[in-house]
Amino acid sequence: MAPSPYLINPRSDAPFYFGAEVHAAWGFGSTVLLADAALATVAALAPPDFAVTLCDEGISPVDFDTPSEFIGITGKISQETRMIELAREFRRRGKIVIVGGPYASLSPGRLRDECDILVQGEYENIAGKFFSDLRSGVWQREYIGDKPDLRESPIPRWDLYPNHRALSGTLQTSRGCPFECEFCDVIQYLGRKQRHKSPEQVLTELDELYRHGYRIVFLADDNLTVYRARAKELLRAIRDWNDTRTEGRVSFSTQGFHRLLARSRGYASDAALPSQEWTGNELHLFVPEMAKIDQDKDKRLAQLAVTLGEAVSVHAAATTLLESQDWDFSAVWYGAVDRACELFPAGTDEIYKDVVSGVYRFLDLFLGRLKQLAGSETVVMLVSDRTAGESEWRASTGREPKGLLCATGPGIQPDELTFGAGLLDIAPTILGVFGFAPAPEMAGRAISEICATTPSRKVQKISCTTPVPQDTARVASDMAALEEFGYTDTVATAWRQEAEAARTRRDFYLARVLLSQGRFSEAIPLLEKLAAETPVLPEMRLYLGHAYFLSGRIPECRAICEALLTETPDSPFASAGRAHVALAEGNYEEALTHLASGQKAYGMVAALDAAVGEAYLKIGKHEDAAAAFRSALQTDAGIPAAHEGLARALLGLGQHSEAAEAALDAIRLRYDLPGAHNVLGRALQGMGREEAAAGAFANAEMLSRRLPVA
């Protein structure tokens, strides 16, 4: 009876970046990135009557109870520990252990005493004698292979491999490399003379991989393109073969993919990653059914590749600097999530439904690497205006998510919550982590509630020499003279309009951030300047009017409001705008008149109903106010202010339990509303729950202290 060898590719000693452990964490189950061609090739060299069984430990556990007498173990240095563990266990069980592969060829002395038969070098030319010896029961202690002609190498036995659990097939078109790179061990066992399979042979192997369902193939050559003429011939043949596929085209990748993985871990000296290096192998992880996409019409896959390429390049640069430079502070910005959300919003095509969550997981891996490099004694702060589960949040609350801020490390208060923080608070908080109190004129506030100690050191001011004012008339005259002589900066002229537009956007966004932080005195001058420079953009005046309203400058607000409404008299917000100005002026009856006309013209709009409720509260009509707020919430249940207003109205009616529920609804939507906590405390007090009321009042006071001061 012919032997039945059991061939094993062991798991790696440590998790590889895209190894089986990572795929399992991504929800792929027992999956490997690359199918193991070594097992399938050795199986193909066995005589037909040998019943070979393959085990890739990244996919399935090793069967220690296998009836096979001969156990074959392959592996690289990254699998050394596991190779030895398996060899010792099977020898303990009385099996004949055979060890081969790259590590056995490069370090035979390390493995010689751990096995019964050691195979060094390449296998094709010694396979016949090796299997004949196994059949006879008399074998050598060692077998040493030479450099075979790859045109004689057989088609790998992919029919024996668990192909359904591998993301990519593997095909080797050549072995060896003519170069002598000091970091590479390829030439030590595969030689400097590169040997090639014929194009026909490669296409036959591709047919076999395609038949087994692979639509991504990794070309496992050590140097695919070193001989350009041969590479062009082969790639043209592969291209023509791919054009004839009727069940989906195949995506190919090469060793460049492994450069990608190295860079994403921060081990590469070259920190740039062009988007074209993102091939099907990588993108398949984000879009599993990418083969169905018509990329001539749908360009989003290419845009995703650009986005991911930029993220990896940023990460590679950051990790390289962290490893190679002394540093006290490091900040890294990734724009991949924001761009992915723009390309693939909620409700996008089914084929792209997992892209955004995949990008989040991808960046989670980056964060893990950054934390590893930073060390446990480093303060780590994560700031994002995007969060996973945005669509679920939006569906359940009706509100846009506000992003997140989380921090950990020495000096950070554990398990503390903070609410209402904004982007301008980050810089003062970072100073606080270093023990510095923010400068008095600094925008934002230090988020003191997450800091374990109060910073006391003062930021030292560095005086700068004031630049001498230029004589603008003289400069203009000199420029005109230069232009007369033909010295015209056509590039600067062409981009001047773009530069002005960029400056306008920058100032507008800064003003909006200042408004969100309650720094009206700083936002208003910016908005006044923008409104004067861009009179055709109504949003500038709209935000300026809003800033006037928030800062109590009601006459200026009314003037802008009336001007805007004169230009757009049919706006559905006309009545609400006039009503809010009237409310601020204390003209409650006028406000109700405006709101009533708006309700007649535009129906029961939630914003109008909420404003009606506020007006009724001002004049003490609590029952009418409650009805208006309920109407607003029936239209849009995601308005925190309407829930808070309903709570105040119910409190005025003496319905303390209902008021507490309404206040809690407001708090569930937006925790950082001190008014809602205050109303909750008053309602709980009315219910006789003094201890709970005290907690609500404490929260209200705490949140009030955190509110920015204009």
Question: Quick one: which of 65, 49, 60 has its CA closest to 9?
Answer: 60
Comparison of pLDDT for 379 and 302, the residue scoring more: 379
pLDDT band at residue 574 using 50, 70 and 90 as cut-offs:
low
What are 667's two structure tokens?
């708090």
Report the Cα–Cα distance between both ends of the chain, in Å, rounded.
90
* Residue 263 confidence (pLDDT): 39
* Residue 117 confidence (pLDDT): 97
DSSP string, 80-138: HHHHHHHHHHHHHTTPEEEE-SHHHHH-HHHHGGG-SEEEES-SGGGHHHHHHHHHHT-
pLDDT band at residue 157 using 50, 70 and 90 as cut-offs:
very high
* Residue 655 confidence (pLDDT): 94
* Residue 446 confidence (pLDDT): 80
Give mean pLDDT, residues 56-65: 92
pLDDT band at residue 385 using 50, 70 and 90 as cut-offs:
confident
Percentage of the chain exceeding pLDDT 70: 82
> Which domains can be identified in the chain, with CATH numbers?
6-254 (3.30.750.210), 302-458 (no CATH), 537-706 (1.25.40.10)
**pLDDT digits over 363-374, tens only?**
888 888 888 888
Task: Report the alpha-carbon distance of residue 105 to residue 190 in Å, rounded.
Answer: 10
Task: Report the alpha-carbon distance of residue 446 to residue 425 in Å, rounded.
Answer: 6
Task: Report the alpha-carbon distance of residue 73 to residue 233 in Å, rounded.
Answer: 36
Give mean pLDDT, residues 46-65: 94
| Sequence-ordered list of residues with C-beta below 8 angstroms from that of 415, at least 6 positions apart, any chain | none
Relative to beta strand 117-120, strand 142-144 is parallel
Q: Which of 176-190, 450-464, 649-663 has the lowest mean pLDDT?
A: 450-464
| Burial of residue 14 (number of CB atoms within 10 Å: 0-12, 13-18, 19+) | exposed
Q: Left (φ > 0), alpha (ψ -120 to 50) or beta: where does 491 sit?
A: alpha
Residue 273 has pLDDT above 60, yes or no: no
Comparison of pLDDT for 705 and 648, the residue scoring more: 648
Amino acid code (one letter) for 68: S
Calculate the average pLDDT of the chain: 82
* Residue 28 confidence (pLDDT): 54
Whether the Cβ atoms of residue 101 and residue 79 lie closer than 8 Å to each other: no
* Residue 455 confidence (pLDDT): 76
* Residue 347 confidence (pLDDT): 75
Task: Report the alpha-carbon distance of residue 200 to residue 111 in Å, rounded.
Answer: 38
Comparison of pLDDT for 186 and 134, the residue scoring more: 134
| Burial of residue 49 (number of CB atoms within 10 Å: 0-12, 13-18, 19+) | exposed
Q: CA 508, 512, 518, 519: dihedral to nearest 10 degrees?
A: -20
Residues in the chain: 710
**pLDDT digits over 656-693, tens only?**
999 999 999 988 887 878 899 999 999 999 999 999 99
Q: Which of 287-291, 498-502, 565-569 has the lowest mean pLDDT?
A: 565-569
Q: Left (φ > 0), alpha (ψ -120 to 50) or beta: where does 6 sit?
A: beta
Whether the Cβ atoms of residue 82 and residue 88 lie closer than 8 Å to each other: no
Whether the Cβ atoms of residue 69 and residue 43 lie closer than 8 Å to each other: no
| Sequence-ordered list of residues with C-beta below 8 angstroms from that of 332, at least 6 positions apart, any chain | 314, 315, 318, 370
Task: Report the alpha-carbon distance of residue 38 to residue 101 in Å, rounded.
Answer: 8
SS (H, E, C) 126-178: HHHHHHHHHHHCCCCCEEECCCCCHHHCCCCCHHHCCHHHEEEEEECCEECCC
Task: Report the alpha-carbon distance of residue 404 to residue 357 in Å, rounded.
Answer: 16
Highest mean pLDDT among 206-215, 294-303, 601-610: 206-215
Highest mean pLDDT among 258-262, 483-487, 530-534: 530-534
Residue 379 has pLDDT above 60, yes or no: yes
DSSP string, 220-249: --SSTTSSHHHHHHHHHHHHHHHHT-SS--
Residue 93 has pLDDT above 90, yes or no: yes
Task: Report the alpha-carbon distance of residue 70 to residue 1 in Å, rounded.
Answer: 13
Q: Which of 88-92, 469-473, 477-481, 642-646 has the lowest mean pLDDT?
A: 469-473
Distance, CA of 686 to chain centre: 48
Dihedral sign computed on CA atoms, order 659, 664, 669, 673: positive
Question: Quick one: which of 335, 329, 419, 443 has its CA closest to 381?
Answer: 329
Relative to beta strand 32-34, strand 166-171 is parallel
Give mean pLDDT, residues 72-78: 92
| Sequence-ordered list of residues with C-beta below 8 angstroms from that of 27, at least 6 positions apart, any chain | none
* Residue 650 confidence (pLDDT): 94
| Sequence-ordered list of residues with C-beta below 8 angstroms from that of 31, at least 6 positions apart, any chain | 20, 23, 24, 58, 59, 165, 166, 167
Comparison of pLDDT for 26 and 180, the residue scoring more: 180
Residue 276 has pLDDT above 50, yes or no: no
Give mean pLDDT, residues 191-213: 94
* Residue 294 DSSP one-character state: -
Whether the Cβ atoms of residue 646 and residue 630 lie closer than 8 Å to each other: yes
Relative to beta strand 96-99, strand 70-73 is parallel
The residue behind tokens 């960029």 is 502
**pLDDT digits over 208-229, tens only?**
999 999 988 999 998 888 888 8
* Residue 710 confidence (pLDDT): 36
Percentage of the chain exceeding pLDDT 90: 31
* Residue 644 confidence (pLDDT): 92
* Residue 265 confidence (pLDDT): 39
Question: Quick one: which of 42, 336, 279, 33 has its CA closest to 160?
Answer: 42
* Residue 657 confidence (pLDDT): 93
Q: Which of 239-243, 320-324, 523-527, 582-586 has the lowest mean pLDDT?
A: 582-586
Task: Report the alpha-carbon distance of residue 35 to residue 408 in Å, rounded.
Answer: 40
* Residue 708 confidence (pLDDT): 46
Whether the Cβ atoms of residue 400 and residue 346 lie closer than 8 Å to each other: no
Task: Report the alpha-carbon distance of residue 327 to residue 329 in Å, rounded.
Answer: 6
* Residue 88 confidence (pLDDT): 96
Residue 310 has pLDDT above 60, yes or no: yes
Q: Which of 243-247, 382-386, 694-698 has the lowest mean pLDDT?
A: 382-386
Task: Report the alpha-carbon distance of residue 271 to residue 266 in Å, rounded.
Answer: 8
* Residue 604 confidence (pLDDT): 45
pLDDT band at residue 495 using 50, 70 and 90 as cut-offs:
low
Whether the Cβ atoms of residue 227 and residue 194 lie closer than 8 Å to each other: yes
| Sequence-ordered list of residues with C-beta below 8 angstroms from that of 523, at least 6 positions apart, any chain | 511, 512, 514, 515, 547
Amino acid code (one letter) for 700: A
Neighbours of 441 (CB within 10 A): 6
**pLDDT digits over 432-459, tens only?**
888 888 777 776 778 877 877 777 777 7
* Residue 272 confidence (pLDDT): 43
**CA-to-CA dists, residue 655 to 626, 640, 648, 662, 684, angstroms:** 11, 19, 10, 11, 11
| Burial of residue 249 (number of CB atoms within 10 Å: 0-12, 13-18, 19+) | middle
Amino acid code (one letter) for 77: I
* Residue 127 confidence (pLDDT): 94
**pLDDT digits over 225-268, tens only?**
888 889 889 989 999 999 899 888 888 888 754 443 333 333 33
Give mean pLDDT, residues 183-188: 80
Residue 283 has pLDDT above 50, yes or no: yes
Give mean pLDDT, residues 549-576: 74
Amino acid code (one letter) for 2: A
